[in-house]
Amino acid sequence: MLAELKLLITAGNPIITIDTREEERAAQIVRKVAEELCFPLFEWAITRGLQRTIPTVTETGIKPGKAPPALEYILDNKGNREIYLFYELAAHTRDPIVARQLQEIYNRSTTTLILINRESLPETINRMTVPVTLKLPDAGEVEFLVKETYRSLKETSYVEISSSLTKREMEQLVQSLRGLTTLEINRIIRASILEDYALSSEDLPRVVEMKRNLLKSAGCLESIGVNFAPEDIGGLASLKKWLSRRRGGMSSKARAFGLDPPRGILLLGVQGCGKSLCAKIVAADWGMPLLRMDPGVLYQKFIGESENRLREALAQAESMAPVILWIDEIEKAFASSSSSSADGGLSQRMFGTLLTWMQDHRSPIFMVATANNISALPPELMRKGRFDEIFFVDLPNDAVRRDIWKIHLQRRQRDPKSFNLERLAAKSEGFSGAEIEQAVISGMFVAFAERCELSDDLLIKEIETTRPLYKMMSGKINKLRRWAKNRCVSAE
């Protein structure tokens, strides 16, 4: 970013924007550019007013408060090449005086105004700016931050601090910290070291957990723990075979062979048949982190903010690559993009942003999207090139239901050989995997309450008292099957 910013300033661009959560890191880059170009740098914030910070800190007489006096100071410039750095000016741009002052600054080329924002600028002002992207730290920068934080603590701590990380463990630690800001990385490493005054392999799970909590607070992406294996899900033989053949597709060996990273899959089908579980299975089997995007959290009330949050989430996923990106029930996020809606075109813009990213990104990100209602999906999403394949996940057949019964009984410390799996599978015709799991859980509660052991009879009684989704929504399920017959690949 430093070289790009220097070029834009020397080329005479009057207004440059940096949209980032890393305000201080961006400011440090701007200060370094000002020093290298030997241009004076002035910085403004509503709490500090306007000050010259390079070459020396000098008061300008513009006190803390509203932005117009500081912008007027720029307009009074007599032709000197100067850089002005403004923090969070976006909130002030609704003032018509500020909007006019920015227009007048844009019409001049003697100064450069750099805006560091977290909010979006109005479209009329945004057209006058040149955006610069401050990417999150890459692997090399993360490793440097870890080592610098460790060195700083070791030099300042009154207690002896040690490190026993191997090269491989350092690589795992760096990968775990990808996608975070420099400040977040610093705080996580400090907390991990100060807990036991050491940096070791025991800190890796703690780092992952702290990162998961940070992503939850950010709201758009959530790091999901995975403790599954392909054998923990019954059936889906065709899907499992397809995934196993692409297991090494993210590796450098695959690049050398001439392969691009696999892009992702769309899973359509009946609720409760294991579509969401597949995302966890892929992450566990491929040994990659799993990120879940919550589309509902992306939508915000201010114009442009929703699109920015989506772009931030996608950029964060790219910075953490290679990863599995899971979007559950994708039709609920972009359903109104396929028809006229009352959201002012927001769904269409969000959908367009996602489609462009899916088509153009080159990061090793494997997307797993699930959907239950095919009629709500825009047709553009399903054309070849967006996803590698579209799979249809149907209700399990008799053989698969036997496997599912076996899996859920074993998961609850029961010996499947003590049960008549053929009889249970036959009785549960039309049941989804989730409904079979609930039958096992309900049966165990009954057995626990009656102080007896779980048996075939108890499970069959639970089956007979359950109305499966297939009976309640047979029309919709059959319609979905007919649609998928010649359009999707069977997951079984």
Please determine, for residue 124, whether its predicted confidence score (pLDDT) is greater than 80.
yes
> Distance (Å, rounded) from C-alpha 462 to C-alpha 440?
8
Q: How far is CA 411 from CA 149, 275, 415, in A?
A: 43, 19, 10
- pLDDT computed for residue 344 by the predictor: 54
- pLDDT computed for residue 33 by the predictor: 94
Structure tokens at 436: 């079979």
- pLDDT computed for residue 468 by the predictor: 86
- pLDDT computed for residue 333 by the predictor: 67
- Cα-flanking dihedrals φ and ψ of residue 108, to 5°? -110, 160
- pLDDT computed for residue 8 by the predictor: 92
Amino acid at 450: E
Please determine, for residue 304, whether its predicted confidence score (pLDDT) is greater than 60.
no
Alpha carbons within 13 A on the beta-carbon side of 130? 16
Please determine, for residue 35, whether its predicted confidence score (pLDDT) is greater than 90.
yes
Q: Convert the pLDDT of each residue in 362-380 to its tens digit.
A: 888 899 988 887 776 777 7
- pLDDT computed for residue 51 by the predictor: 93
- Cα-flanking dihedrals φ and ψ of residue 204, to 5°? -60, -50
Mean pLDDT of the chain: 85
> Distance (Å, rounded) from C-alpha 298 to C-alpha 301?
10
Please classify residue 214 by burial: count the beta carbons closer than 10 Å to its beta carbon, then call 0-12 exposed, 13-18 middle and 19+ buried.
middle
Across residues 287-307, what is the average pLDDT?
71
Q: Convert the pLDDT of each residue in 251-265 to its tens digit.
A: 878 888 988 888 899
Beta strands in 290-399 (DSSP E): 290-293, 323-327, 365-371, 389-393
Residue 299 near residue 342 (C-beta atoms within 8 A)? no
Q: What domains are there in the chain, each with its CATH number? A: 2-132 (3.40.50.300), 139-218 (1.10.8), 230-393 (3.40.50.300), 398-472 (1.10.8.60)
pTM of the model: 0.71
Beta strands in 176-322 (DSSP E): 198-199, 221-224, 264-269, 290-293
> Distance (Å, rounded) from C-alpha 232 to C-alpha 364?
26
- pLDDT computed for residue 253 by the predictor: 85
Across residues 65-79, what is the average pLDDT?
89
Neighbours of 449 (CB within 10 A): 8
- pLDDT computed for residue 145 by the predictor: 93
Across residues 305-319, what is the average pLDDT?
78
* 164 vs 343: which has the higher pLDDT: 164
Please determine, for residue 284, whether its predicted confidence score (pLDDT) is greater than 60.
yes
Q: Using pLDDT thresholds of 50, 70 and 90, give the confidence band for residue 217.
A: low
- pLDDT computed for residue 414 by the predictor: 92
Percent of the chain with pLDDT over 70: 93
Q: Convert the pLDDT of each residue in 393-415 to its tens digit.
A: 888 999 999 999 999 999 899 99
